[in-house]
Amino acid sequence: MTRTPQTYDVVVIGGGPVGENAAGRVVRGGLRAALVEAQLVGGECSYWACVPSKALLRPGAAVAAARGVGGAAEAVTGAPDAAAALRRRDGFAAHWDDSGQAEWLAGAGVELVRGRGRLAGPRQVEVTTGDGAVRRLAARHAVVLATGSRPAVPPVPGLADAPFWGTREATAAREVPGSLAVLGGGVSGTELAQAFARLGSRVTVVARSRLLGAFPRPAARLVADALETEGVTVLEGRGTERVRRGGDGIELVLDDGGTVSAQRLLVSTGRRPALDGLGLEELGLDPAALRVDDSGRVAGPQEQWLYAAGDAAGGPLLTHQGKYEARAVGDAVVARAAGRLGDSVPAWSRYASTADACAVPQVVFTDPAVASVGRSAEQARADGLEVDVVEHDIDVAGASLHRDGYRGWARLVVGRRRRTLVGAVFAGPDVTELLHAATVAVVGEVPLERLWHAVPVFPTISEVWLRLLEEYGL
Ligand SMILES: Cc1cc2nc3c(=O)[nH]c(=O)nc-3n(C[C@H](O)[C@H](O)[C@H](O)COP(=O)(O)OP(=O)(O)OC[C@H]3O[C@@H](n4cnc5c(N)ncnc54)[C@H](O)[C@@H]3O)c2cc1C
Ligand SMILES: NC(=O)c1ccc[n+]([C@@H]2O[C@H](COP(=O)([O-])OP(=O)(O)OC[C@H]3O[C@@H](n4cnc5c(N)ncnc54)[C@H](O)[C@@H]3O)[C@@H](O)[C@H]2O)c1
């Protein structure tokens, strides 16, 4: 163990997208930062989540897009090439080599400390390196927890003894299994079901409620219908009673007496913050109930030097939102170190991740996609807002031109008192890029009367905005 700690202004534990951004922001503000990473710089997102999952989806989506356009469809003569798709994915995952990201950190002036970090007292971090050596780091101003999340594995009898994939194994798969059972119909399960189905697997999704239960029913239905049309079996409202080895792989026994057999099982049943083993209990903090304020500062008995951001902080489990929190944390730490920011943080300032509460954008990258931002009507009402809801099928000329037989659906949630948009959902092929306009309108609290003058181009899918505003009465 090194006796004298190396001192930095800020120590960040966890080098995923969130940790990298927090450290980068701190250095940009003129402070010295160390970033502690136990595995690969770039985190889950770069190697086992966002990037490889989107890389696995893209070839199937490109082929389906061409098949959906008469004249182009005739040029598509085969199925996606799974081996080539996996090779392309390998490239996007940088072959699980983080030297490029480590270089980025060095260029940004962040010092990388490889090893597993834990809090060893106020402003103290202990890092155990690969060879078992222990280094001590001290932080003058702040320690930031950016340790991400871990999969939540459900207590299904037999699961612990069965071989199964988590999202890590699925996104890093070396081959496409002949058949795949997916337990969990959330975002990961649905995206990976379509990715593997389009690359050649026979896929069954087992969802204990409905597919994409966190999204509006009509949007989720469009996705479920598309999956079923492509040959995916979607079993909704089905619990799993046990998992056992069987046939050439595994078998799920469902609560309606049915069984699902597959060569591989993917368990994608949610994630929770990775806060175990960080020494939080010794500081009087409960890892299962960490609370952070808008600037990411952890509430508790310690003297306000501890921050958390991204998946570790327990808010939206999304890269872009975590990076947004990291920018707020980094800027708040710099401002507090300079005595420019006190305890309270003004909403919508650069030190606050205000949008986390009311304007989180998310896309389910399936085909059709689901893109949503802001509050649902239920969330808005729970927050004390009176809202109106307008819905419209996406049946505009731009959509029909975009893909033959285009099916899409959109919803706006409008605050009645101020007549501003508080939420929006778009579902359909290639609606992904429609979302940012809605995010700008929600964050900017643009009155609908003014939004009326944001004229969507003819013929684009965005014309659905006009239909929705007309539906609202404009
Ligand atoms: C299959 C899948 C697909 C996804 N797709 C998307 C998507 O398309 N878009 C999107 O926005 N989000 C997506 N997400 C969510 C996204 O991956 C996470 O929100 C994001 O990775 C969170 O970033 P983070 O930096 O907080 O954590 P992570 O990316 O998990 O990084 C945390 C880092 O901390 C390190 N670490 C942990 N503990 C320690 C320790 N004690 N000492 C040192 N290092 C430590 C880990 O090794 C890791 O590198 C997806 C998730 C999954 C599972
Ligand atoms: N495109 C994206 O932005 C993207 C993609 C993938 C993941 N993510 C993020 O990663 C996080 C984790 O993804 P996820 O899909 O694992 O979580 P999720 O919360 O989206 O879905 C988990 C699903 O598992 C189900 N489930 C839980 N326990 C179960 C059980 N015992 N049996 C059967 N089903 C069970 C839940 O009902 C839910 O439908 C998400 O919160 C999401 O924000 C984002």
ipTM of the complex: 0.98
CA of 76 from ligand 1 middle (Å) equals 36
pLDDT at 300: 86
149 annotated ligand binder: yes
Distances (CA, A) of 237 to 60, 149, 212, 226, 319: 28, 27, 12, 18, 29
What values do phi and psi take at 299, rounded to 5?
Answer: -80, 140
Cis peptide before 368 (omega within 30 of 0): yes
User: Binding residue per annotation — 81?
Assistant: no
Sign (positive/negative) of CA torsion 170, 223, 400, 404?
A: positive
Alpha carbon nearest to ligand 2 atom 34, residue = 184
CA distance 454 to 466: 9
Distance 185 CA to ligand 2 centre (A): 7
Q: Which fold has domain 6-47+93-150+272-355?
A: FAD/NAD(P)-binding domain (3.50.50)
**What residues contact residue 48 under an 8 Å CB cut-off, 6+ apart?**
93, 167, 168, 171, 172
Give pLDDT, residue 306: 97
Residues 6+ apart with CB under 8 A from 340: none
Average pLDDT across each block of 10 residues of the chain; the chain has 474 residues. List them in order.
85 98 98 98 98 98 98 96 98 98 97 98 96 96 98 96 96 98 98 98 98 98 98 98 91 96 98 97 94 95 90 97 98 98 96 98 98 97 97 98 98 97 98 97 97 98 98 96
Looking at residue 295, its pLDDT comes to 97
Atom of ligand 2 nearest to the CA of 154: 31
Domain with CATH 3.30.390.30 in the chain: 368-472
Residue 188 CA, ligand 2 centroid: distance in Å = 6
Ligand 2 centre to CA of 315 (Å) is 14
| Chain region(s) in the chain for CATH 3.50.50.60 | 6-47+93-150+272-355, 159-269
Question: Is 30 annotated as ligand-binding?
Answer: no
Three-state helix/strand/coil letters over the chain: CCCCCEEEEEEEECCCHHHHHHHHHHHHCCCCEEEEECCCCCHHHHHHCHHHHHHHHHHHHHHHHHHCCCCCHHHCCCCCCHHHHHHHHHHHCHHHCCHHHHHHHHHHCCEEEECEEEEEECCEEEEECCCCCEEEEEEEEEEEECCCEEECCCCCCCHHHCCCECHHHHHCCCCCCCEEEEECCCHHHHHHHHHHHHCCCEEEEEECCCCCCCCCHHHHHHHHHHHHHCCCEEEECCCEEEEEEECCEEEEEECCCCEEEECEEEECCCEEECCCCCCCHHHCCCHHHCCECCCCEECCCCCCCEEECHHHHCCCCCHHHHHHHHHHHHHHHHHHHCCCCCCCCCCCCCCCCHHHHCCCEEEECCCCEEEEEECCHHHHHHCCCCEEEEEEECCCHHHHHHCCCCCCEEEEEEECCCCEEEEEEEEECCCHHHHHHHHHHHHHCCEHHHHCCCCCCCCCHHHHHHHHHHHHCC
Q: Which ligand is located closest to the Cα atom of residue 273?
A: 1
- Encoding tokens for residue 463? 């014309």
Strand 202-207, strand 179-183: pairing: parallel
Q: Which of 212, 269, 356 to mutate to test the pocket of ligand 2 (most atoms within 8 A of CB)?
A: 269
Show Cβ contacts of residue 75 under 8 Å, excluding neighbours closer than 6 positions. 66
User: Which one is the CATH code of 159-269: 3.20.10.10, 3.40.50.920, 2.60.40.420, 3.50.50.60?
Assistant: 3.50.50.60
What is the architecture, at CATH level 2, of domain 368-472?
Answer: 2-Layer Sandwich (3.30)
State the residue for tokens 């299904």: 156
Q: How far is CA 326 from the centre of its chain?
A: 15
Whole-number Å distance between alpha carbons of 256 and 383 = 38
Q: Binding residue per annotation — 44?
A: no
- How close is the Cα of 267 to the center of ligand 2, in Å? 10
Residues in the chain: 474
The answer to whether the CB of 157 falls within 8 A of the CB of 242 is yes
Q: Whose CA is nearest to atom 35 of ligand 1?
A: 14
